[in-house]
Structure 1
């Protein structure tokens, strides 16, 4: 059975999609960016600041299903500038520990943000 995940701690969806969906023991999150849930504005100017806010938003959605970053098995990352990869990676490593989830990182045309991330997690 499909269950919608929704938290006020992460930004409200800007279109016809859910913040996250739980199907059985699998959790899928929508792509999150560095948007402050209260103000609706981009938080942070640097890739490091924006990555931290983006990952915090993902964390809040995962928590709605009782999951943590330890439960994440797949991550997709969109960077507006692939030159930011190393700085992004330094922040990313503070949120995930080994064994790291599999990950795809691509350069994307993002509107007004430097990073967008979505995840798939499996509850134990």
Structure 2
């Protein structure tokens, strides 16, 4: 098995180690980012939905930055939404703040029934700069 080149954002390594997963892995010119939620520094969910989505993007951007990327390098996005019929409009009203101009990355949206107390999760694949 090859060694995993793990990316940890500043100040959150203990949280990832506690939960036993890597926030992101560099491999073959790509960055594979685990699903990011709107968690506070202690791991608890932000209760307000729009604040939770903003915090999920801030957590995602922290990982991208740690790998030398920005959201402009993202090529594929998967979002998980609890009760999308109820929550999609509120979530989509926040996403444009972080998404950037076209061309946009590919997108897969998945409606789910449970996200460990969260309402929104985003995972991405990004192309590493200079590779």
Q: Give the TM-score taking structure 1 as reference length.
A: 0.89
Find the residue that maps to 2:65 and give its secondary structure: helix
CA contact (8 A) 1:5 1:65 kept: yes
Give the corresponding residue for 2:20: 16
Counterpart-to-counterpart distance in 1, 2:62 and 2:68: 10
The match for 1:60 is 62
Instruction: Tell me the distance in 1 between the aligned counterparts of 2:12 and 2:111.
Output: 24
| Structure 2, gaps ≥5 residues long | none
- SS of the residue 2:37 aligns to: coil
Looking at structure 2, the residues matched to 88 and 99 of structure 1 have their Cα atoms a distance apart, in angstroms, of 20
Deviation per residue, 1:70-110 (Å, 9 max, x gap) = 00011111111102112111211110121111111111122
Mark the runs of 5 or more structure 1 residues left unpaired by the alignment. none
Q: Distance in 2 between matches of 1:87 and 1:2?
A: 36
Mapped pair 1:111 → 2:116: yes
SS in 2 for 1:8: coil
Q: Which structure has greater helix proportion? A: 2
| 8 Å CA contact 1:6, 1:61 repeated in 2 | yes
Deviation (angstroms), 1:23: 1.0
Report the 3-state secondary structure (helix = DSSP H, G, I; strand = E; otherwise coil) of the residue aligned with 1:30: strand
Larger radius of gyration: 2
For residues 105 and 55 of structure 1, the distance between their equivalents in structure 2, rounded to whole angstroms, comes to 16
TM-score (norm 2): 0.84
